[in-house]
Structure 1
Amino acid sequence: MRKPIDIETLWRLERAGAVSLSPDGSAAVCSVTSYKMEDNKGRTALWLLPTASCSPRRLTTGGEKDGNPAWSPQGDRIAFLAKREQDGRTDAEPQLYVIPAAGGEAERKSDFAPGIDDFKWMPDGKRIVFVSWVWPDAKGAREQAKRHKKFTDRKESAYVTSEAHYRHWDRNLPMGRVPHLLMLDLASGRVTDLFEGTGYELPRVDTCAAHFDISPDGRRIAFVHDPIERKRADHALALAEIHIASRRITPLTDDPRWSYDAPRYGPDGSSLACVAAHVGRRHTMPNRLAIRNDHGLWRMPGAGRDLDVDAPLRWSGDGASILFTAQERGRRHLWRQDLRKRAPEVAVQGGWVQGFDIAGSGSDEIITVAIDCASHPVQIHAVKSGAAKRLERFNYEVLSNVAIGETREVTVKGALGDAVQMFLTFPPRFNAKRKHPVMQVIHGGPYAASGDTWGYRWNTHLLASRGHVLASVNYHGSSGFGHAFADSIMGRMGQLELRDIEAGTDWLLKQRWCDRKRVYAGGGSYGGFLVAWMNGHVAPGRYRNYVCHAGVFDRVATFSADSYIQRPRDLGALYWKDPAKVLAQSPHTFAHRMRTPTLILHGTKDYRVPDVNGLAYYNTLLAQGVPTRLVWFPDENHWVLKPRNSRLWYSEVLDWVKK
């Protein structure tokens, strides 16, 4: 008999990640991470997936975190990043490895002391362009190695900076270093810094290969950068192009009202696609697809659809269309923009498309997608002529013994009279004639969405495993419902969202299967902020208790976050210029009203919502005699990522709502 999913089963699932398709479309390679609860860690390996048959083969076994796989242009080799022990030497930082596609031993191809963050192949298959954080005043790989050794050997532990942006998510940005583009010759191992002496650097936030692209002839590289000398995370990004032979850099954009990213050359190199956001009009403006030709003329196809275009972009082989992912109403589809048409069309229906690649053109075109949905984790499919074929069976055996409850979608009338989407997750043996406890699970962001996707941190099936019905409202501010809907909460955070969540709860309370005495609410990040907000704005007794994970409690104290530059734009005020407006959007202002018992969970390494929020919230409830419990992880960030900590997290949450 199948059983509801439990935490041990959730962590036995293999997690397919980045997928890359061979140039001829005959095979894909993807990263797959598997975890062992007893080891309290995971291992990531690469798997080869032939597209003509379901016969996956493990490609790498020697490393613990083999990632970022990419086929060579000739299709005979696969490059990837790893930290391995080879030839009696253990990598201190990630290095580039290359393995034959037919199988064999992976060979280390780089020995660059600062390490490699991401990369792309040059069209000749002989060189790699990669991203690395380097000391901008150190010339040559040897000098970089000396500086790296000196820094790692230092005895001082202080982080010293004058930068405006100096930490992100759960780590300090490399002190005194900036992200450059460099070139690696695979035969000789020689490394050349393409930005050396120029003053240019890649963006410091989420630095990756999506920030640049190489022209098909291998002569130019388009990249994005912050054109203002003092770098900040909220600056608009500009687009430029470097001619590799001469190192001459040519600006491609000069309008500071627009921010550009994810450049991608067309198949013949005459056009350059990217995403562009009109941030001069509003900081919340979505990314639109933009195309520049060789004459410097721009056009923006896709105006017929209010979509926020995600990176990366991929051209079809014939250059007639561009593929990208974008959210729409709780799902993330793969879209195709035919350049002869006004609006894009769905190429692959979500669920949630987590990644994709494309090869060939016309009738020979093949697309691989990594896609999940509410009922299963990521699967890899090959799509040709509209027909999809699954290429692996990674979790087939584990899930064959698991009972997954039904997911439904309903609409309620929310704030401003708008229709608001709510997803419901039912326990496997749901009985509409019985009373079931109900829990609102409030998503973070706020520019995110609950949807038709599989989660590991707030897995609704696991949370429903003890008989609960889970409800997830896509409140005002959520992504995938157009710009006006997302932008509507600016300067009044908490107000519209609460009305939407309460409308969802009103709908739930009218259902005959709802146990009105056992209604709960929980959320993380912005969802945690909303839970704390609810404690000060919803009458005690409506919700039996709350779960607040990594939630904002004090807007002023949260100015210590890595996102301190962006948050005043969302609030519509700086706390020293308009304290009343900021405090009106801060849960701690309403602490005197808080009476509902709350479980508070937080990680010490959380730089997005520093843990002072969770500790202050816990202490505040304690001081007022409100039942509360603190689960504080000294080694976790904004998320809980270690298997045993995750097991504890779920057990604490499930026990709390049962209490």
Structure 2
Amino acid sequence: MARHKPFTIDDLWRLARIGAPSLSPDGAQAVAAVTRPDMAANRSPASLWLFSTLGGRPRELTRCGDKDGAPRFSPLGDLVGFVARREQEGAKDSEPQFYVIPPDGGEARRVGNVATGVGGFKWFPDGRRIAFVSWVRPGLKGAAAQAKAHQAFTERKETGIASDAEIVRFWDHMIPMDRVPHVLVLDLDTGRSTDLFEGTPYELTRFEPDESCFDIAPDGQSLVFAWDPDPAKRTDSRPAIVELRLRGKRFQTLAQDAEWGFTTPAYAPDGEAVAFRACHRGQKHTMPQQLGLWRREDGVWEVPSANWDHEVQAPLHWEDDGQALLFTAEQRGRQHLWRFDLPDRRAEVVVEGGWVLAFDKAAGTVVTLADTADHPARLQAHLPGEDVRRMEHLNDRALAAFELGRTEEVWITGALGDAVQVWLHYPPGFDPKKKHPVLHTIHGGPHTAPGDNWHWRWNNKVFAAQGYVVASVNYHGSSSFGHAFKDSISHRWGELELQDIEAATDWLLSKRWVDKRRVFASGGSYGGYMVAWMNGHCAPGRYAAYICHAGCYDWTAMFADDCWPWTGDEMGAWYWEDPAKIASQSPHAFASAFSTPTLVVHGALDYRVPDAQGFAYYNTLKARGVPARMLWFPDENHWVLKPRNSRQWHQAFFDWLTRYDRVKT
């Protein structure tokens, strides 16, 4: 088949999307959720698949569910547990429930019926129980009382949500009213659930709690979890690590410090140590997540990775000998799987990215889910003494029809004279003897990093297929380049980032193959902020047009967002303390200089950057007579997730570029 078809948004949505793998105890096979979007039906159903690490063909394990997800092999390997909403025996799940299915096939079986729903879970070592997250009403006792209260709430006619919490909503959902996340135990034989935190002040984080928030001891007698002792329960909290002895229900704080935040605990194989992520928030709000360790023998905690300038990502996976841990961490626009040796306090790369998204290890076999800029996530097996083995080829045939164009990593001199990384994605058939338009895709965060990775929403290959050379700058403030680089933008947002982007534009304009009249800039979230900032700071005509998706526009008004405690630390003051300092970092204060045509995109369910930000920017552009267009989604959040809305987003995106492309028009 000729590889000359342009890679379109429809083609992107035809590709299978693989979830995090879970290995069987013998390491012979992995289970993962596979999402196969349906553009016509405007839905993205997911089923479970089994993948062999030894070379066998993948096979679909479940078919009857809509979104079967989060699968995990049981410790005995006889069952795969997963979370789903299904209809079984005439009863349709109103909340996600726990299901099990034998890996050799058969029907999935719902275990019990938890009125408040089942979230992230882990198996007990006996394989007959799970611990899981559920949002419960803390003043009630027993599952029956929880079920009665939950039914009354769901059937109520009122729609108001009342709260006196510091944080009322998060990303795209309200924090459940009068409920907190607890850890419960579900017995597979009886289907009965028990709340381990009932009658205590303990709860998990209220901000997307999952199975990484707790761990079960190897002997099944204890559970360790992260708990925020501050009644305020803010996003900038400093959690402690607490252990619960299940017999007698005795709680003991293992690690707590007013200056540090501890999260994602994991027991050592012998249960005599607990690893966790430790962040020295009292020192600086941008401090990285480091590797923390508590040992039972002396009851003290330490930070073994204190001298390693990388940020540790969850989950933490102990090696069988208890001498090292596996985890992912970014490095210069890539994310690798690392092994951190505790005795030597040394980190080494086990599997190189691209971008390692997820992994698991059992019986000496490592399985990784990793993507690159050239392909979506793939499952690979890494067996001792053998070459890396692909475990699936779900997208190979579909991708074979396209020439995606090459990706190149370049370095330029940016702000402060520092080296700054730029990723270039060239259009298929790129000819350096011809003139090409340039499109900046400016990343959000700001403390994240684009790199050698695939992206399902801002896919640089889809953009490049339109004929653009796509540039992604890892400006000052980006992650994966050390703490000093990440922290450098604090209290002066916009300044160094703009210098880096402008330096990249200068570098591009020096190339003979760049059409100087056709340079565009787009960005989402903090990248949207940067586009609005550029409109007030870059010379008119420097960029032909901007696209601002979910962009921050007015930092005072942004106090309506879900992460307001972070703002004062990042910007150097609260808006009522130093209005001038806040305004000096806010695009709205420079509206008098706006002149570049801008497409503004926002979703109504965006609580990280409320949609009033987008409308304020759009209305200002209109008031100033600057060409502008608004695309607003009533049913999308910070991201555009529905297939048909994604198609509309891309059509509007490309139509706007075409409108101001001086050659195409």
Deviation (angstroms), 1:302? 3.2
What CA deviation, in whole Å up to 9, does each residue of 1:551-595 have, x standing for no partner? 001111111001111122111111111111111111000000000
Q: Among 67, 70, 73, which residue is 2:72 paired with?
A: 70
Structure 1 equivalent of residue 346 of structure 2: 343
Deviation (angstroms), 1:299? 3.4
CA distance in 2, matches of 1:608, 1:165: 12
CA distance in 2, matches of 1:51, 1:253: 38
Q: Among 319, 322, 332, which residue is 2:322 paired with?
A: 319
Does the 8 A contact of 1:288 with 1:300 survive in 2?
yes
Does the 8 A contact of 2:255 with 2:294 survive in 1?
no
Q: Secondary structure at the match of 1:41?
A: coil
CA distance in 1, matches of 2:129, 2:613: 47
Matched, 1:631 2:634: no
Does the 8 A contact of 1:317 with 1:359 survive in 2?
no
What CA deviation, in whole Å up to 9, does each residue of 1:50-104 have, x standing for no partner? 1101410100111011011111111111100000000000000000000001111
CA distance in 2, matches of 1:537, 1:375: 34
Write out aligned runs for 1:87-486 (5 A).
Answer: 87-294=89-296, 295-360=298-363, 365-385=364-384, 387-486=387-486
Structure 1 equivalent of residue 31 of structure 2: 29
Write out aligned runs for 1:547-626 (5 A).
Answer: 547-626=547-626
Gaps of 5+ in 1: none
Q: 505-514 or 647-656, which moves further after superposition?
A: 647-656
Deviation (angstroms), 1:341? 1.9
Deviation (angstroms), 1:304? 4.4
Flag as ranges the 4+ runs of structure 1 deviating above 6 A.
none
Deviation (angstroms), 1:300? 2.6
Does the 8 A contact of 1:54 with 1:392 survive in 2?
no
Matched, 1:515 2:518: no
Does the 8 A contact of 2:46 with 2:68 survive in 1?
yes
Q: Secondary structure at the match of 1:112?
A: coil
CA distance in 2, matches of 1:82, 1:11: 23
Deviation (angstroms), 1:155? 0.4
Q: TM-score, normalization: structure 1?
A: 0.98
Does the 8 A contact of 1:303 with 1:342 survive in 2?
no
* CA RMSD in angstroms, aligned pairs only: 0.9
CA distance in 2, matches of 1:477, 1:307: 14
Q: Secondary structure at the match of 2:361?
A: strand
Does the 8 A contact of 1:54 with 1:390 survive in 2?
no
Matched AA of 1:378:
A
Does the 8 A contact of 2:414 with 2:503 survive in 1?
yes
What CA deviation, in whole Å up to 9, does each residue of 1:401-423 have, x standing for no partner? 11111000110101111000000
Deviation (angstroms), 1:234? 1.1
Deviation (angstroms), 1:189? 1.1
What CA deviation, in whole Å up to 9, does each residue of 1:506-558 have, x standing for no partner? 00000110000000000000000000000000011100000000000111111
CA distance in 1, matches of 2:170, 2:544: 36
Deviation (angstroms), 1:7? 1.0
Q: 28-37 or 335-344, which moves further after superposition?
A: 335-344
Does the 8 A contact of 1:316 with 1:359 survive in 2?
no
CA distance in 2, matches of 1:613, 1:300: 40
CA distance in 2, matches of 1:83, 1:402: 36
Matched AA of 2:348:
E
Q: Secondary structure at the match of 1:252?
A: strand
Structure 1 equivalent of residue 662 of structure 2: none
Does the 8 A contact of 2:255 with 2:301 survive in 1?
no
Matched AA of 1:442:
I
What CA deviation, in whole Å up to 9, does each residue of 1:603-629 have, x standing for no partner? 010000000011011110011110111
Q: Secondary structure at the match of 1:547?
A: strand
Q: Secondary structure at the match of 2:255?
A: coil
Q: What count of residue pairs does the alignment treat as equivalent? A: 655
What CA deviation, in whole Å up to 9, does each residue of 1:142-201 have, x standing for no partner? 000000010001000111111111111111011100000111111111111100011110
What CA deviation, in whole Å up to 9, does each residue of 1:242-287 have, x standing for no partner? 0011111001123111111111111111111111011111111101
Q: 301-310 or 454-463, which moves further after superposition?
A: 301-310
Structure 2 equivalent of residue 494 of structure 1: 494
Does the 8 A contact of 2:367 with 2:380 survive in 1?
yes
Structure 2 equivalent of residue 538 of structure 1: 538
Q: 384-393 or 458-467, which moves further after superposition?
A: 384-393
CA distance in 2, matches of 1:153, 1:342: 55
What CA deviation, in whole Å up to 9, does each residue of 1:204-238 have, x standing for no partner? 11210101000000011010011012321111111
Write out aligned runs for 1:520-531 (5 A).
Answer: 520-531=520-531
Matched AA of 1:454:
W
Gaps of 5+ in 2: 660-665
Matched AA of 2:236:
D
